[in-house]
Amino acid sequence: VVAESIPSQKKFNEIQARYNQNERKSMTELEKAEFNKSYEKEFNEFFKDGYVKKWCAKVDRIESEKSGMAAYVKLRCDFPEAEYTFETKRFAIDETLIPADSELYKKIMPLKRGDVVIFSGKLMSGDYSKKIVDLTTSYGYKNKKLYIDFTDIEKMSTK
């Protein structure tokens, strides 16, 4: 599945792994800032039009929002040396929650935590930044977060 992804999820994982290795070598805040700028450019060039197609991940969370009128989805990618999440935006003007009256909502209804899915969609910039890959730090952990407006999510068959 990763081999068929567009743009290549394998290539993104390689960029992410290299980022993680080099980020640990940065000693000062200025070094980290310069380092993040160079990777931000590489991530933006990699995602060009912002669409991902046929990427795979595990379901981390699916929650009801707006009194059952929409769903929030968070997917986790745990590859060796490359961990990141994809999630719908909520609490934002340009939120990407999945409406309850949509076909996509029907597809995600039976999904549960740990299910492996194949998904597609358009990446969005973060709530507080214009970056596609949000390299935020929370609770002492570096969090690679990508907001996405999902166009498709399907459970991967395990044949």
> Tell me: the pLDDT tens digits for 34-79?
888 888 888 888 988 889 999 999 999 999 999 999 999 999 998 8
User: Which residues, in sequence order, are bridge partners of residue 122?
Assistant: 51, 149
CATH of the domain at 109: 2.40.50.140
Residue 2, φ and ψ in degrees, nearest 5: -60, -35
Which carries the bigger pLDDT value, residue 119 or residue 140? 119
Q: Kindly report, residue by residue over 133-157, the tens digit of the pLDDT.
A: 766 655 555 668 888 999 999 998 7
Nearest C-alpha neighbor of 156 from the set 80, 75, 85, 92: 75
pLDDT score for 90? 84
Q: What is the pTM of this model?
A: 0.86
Q: What b/e sequence results for 118-155 when a residue is b if at least 16 CB atoms lie within 10 Å of its CB, and e otherwise?
A: bbbbebbebbeeebbbbbeeeeeeeebbbbbbbeebee
Instruction: Report the share of the chain in percent with pLDDT over 90.
Output: 47
pLDDT score for 25? 79
Do residues 86 and 72 make contact, with C-beta atoms less than 8 angstroms apart?
no
Our count of domains for the chain comes to: 1
Nearest C-alpha neighbor of 150 from the set 93, 83, 97: 97
Which carries the bigger pLDDT value, residue 82 or residue 57? 57
Question: pLDDT at residue 132 above 80?
Answer: no
pLDDT score for 158? 64
User: Which residues, in sequence order, are bridge partners of residue 52?
Assistant: 121
pLDDT score for 136? 61
Return d(Cα 41, Cα 131) in angstroms, integer.
10
pLDDT score for 49? 86
pLDDT score for 108? 96
Residue 64 is part of which domain span?
2-155
